[in-house]
Amino acid sequence: MRVFSKIATPIFALSSLLFMGAGCIGPSTSGDTLQTSGTAGIYISSDKGEAWQPLVSYPTVSGVQSLAGVSVYRIIPDPHDSHTLYWLSRTHGMFLTNDDGKSWQQVKSPLSSGFVYDLTIHPEDPCTLFATNGTFVYKSEDCTRTWKEVYRESRADVSIRTLEFHQFAPFQMLAGMSNGDLLTSNDFGSSWTLAKRLGNSIVEIVSDPYQANRLYLATRSSGLYRSDDGGTEWVSLSAGLQTYTGALEYHGMTLHPSTAGTLYWISTYGILMSQDAGEKWTPMSLITPPGSVQIYSFGIGPKTDTELYYTATINSRSTFYRSIDGGKSWITRRLPTGQIPTALYIPPEHVDWVYLGFTIPAAE
């Protein structure tokens, strides 16, 4: 939501399902112009959000440069290698690190510039990756050294927003489009089939690591869908969501790291939890009232689900929240920059670490 197998290795589910990126940065809840300050890029805390350090070192032949001005769309961990992360940016392409973020290198063309919406990695082959910049789907079979085009979107008003590998053999590929079209490929991108027309922008697809045929599909503003047959039929889960004002408007989705059927839905309303695969929902008790803030990043401690994290943004101010009792009470902390926190990741090997990516809002 994301490369070893989800089937064989529970830790994969932990690393792959604890990150999220904001689909879009919404307007100020008060109607004021959104004005931010400070650097963007990725920061890390080694003490669960008490203190932060920037991870923006970019060595080049001309010397070490900084990525502090680069906005973060998603942080995607490589489940085959715990030291490798991918940074998908909104304007500067894709970067990767092999040393936990201490230094970054830019992925080669054609993904070295522009907006990169998503990346998905083969569950059993760490060097086979698919990525999209909205217009094309690219495939690499040599760990990002080279890329080849496997799909192009010719409609000017339609873009590819999300990619996902089905995590069980035969590892079907899925692609979600901005017009609500869902495409599938059974031959690793060589050919594609229209599987469904949903009529609302598809922004995230997640393959359930605990149930072979279960998939979740999030739309921009019509809520969540679930498939229990590998993607042939889809059931809308909007009935349970629409009882909460603004809950159909996606901000993020996270599956529980160890409990099948439990998921968290982050929306304009706030954070909802389901323990029955999205049939019924319960609002989490947050300090911030429903709909009063924008929540773009959320995470669960990889060792215990009583440890929860989220960030809340209102106007130009963002705050970091941490709970150690499953959301009954919250600790607040100041963030290291005044930009918008849009991506949060907690590595399962280092439970005290929190990665947080920030975005500079685009000018109106």
The pLDDT of residue 31 is above 70: no
The pLDDT of residue 342 is above 90: yes
For CA atoms 318, 312, 69, 28, the dihedral sign is negative
- Fold held by 10-359: Methylamine Dehydrogenase; Chain H (2.130.10)
Half-sphere exposure of 277 (CA within 13 A, CB side): 19
CA pair distance 249, 270, nearest whole angstrom: 10
For residue 174, count other CB atoms closer than 10 A to its CB. 26
In this prediction, residue 79 carries a pLDDT of 86
Contact, 322 vs 306, CB < 8 A? no
The pLDDT of residue 306 is above 50: yes
Contact, 247 vs 269, CB < 8 A? yes
Where do the structural domains in the chain lie, given as residue ranges? 10-359
How big is the chain, counted in residues?
364
Q: Name the pLDDT band for 302 (thresholds 50, 70, 90).
A: confident
In this prediction, residue 25 carries a pLDDT of 66
The pLDDT of residue 1 is above 70: no
The pLDDT of residue 15 is above 60: no
The pLDDT of residue 58 is above 60: yes
In this prediction, residue 218 carries a pLDDT of 98
Mean pLDDT for the stretch of residues 185-201: 97
Using CA atoms, how far residue 14 sits from 18, 103, 107, 286, in Å, is 6, 24, 25, 23
In this prediction, residue 362 carries a pLDDT of 82
> Picking from 33-42, 96-105, 283-292, 308-317, which range would have the lowest pLDDT averaged per residue?
33-42
Q: What is the DSSP string of 45-92?
A: ESSTTSS-EE--EEEETTEEEE-TTPPEEEEEE-TT-TT-EEEEESSB
In this prediction, residue 20 carries a pLDDT of 52
The pLDDT of residue 9 is above 80: no
Mean pLDDT for the stretch of residues 66-93: 97
In this prediction, residue 33 carries a pLDDT of 55
The per-residue pLDDT for range 220-271, each reduced to its tens digit, is: 999 999 999 999 999 999 999 999 999 999 999 999 988 999 999 999 999 9
Q: Name the pLDDT band for 316 (thresholds 50, 70, 90).
A: confident
Mean pLDDT score of the chain, rounded to an integer? 91
Residues linked to residue 60 through DSSP beta bridges, in sequence order? 63
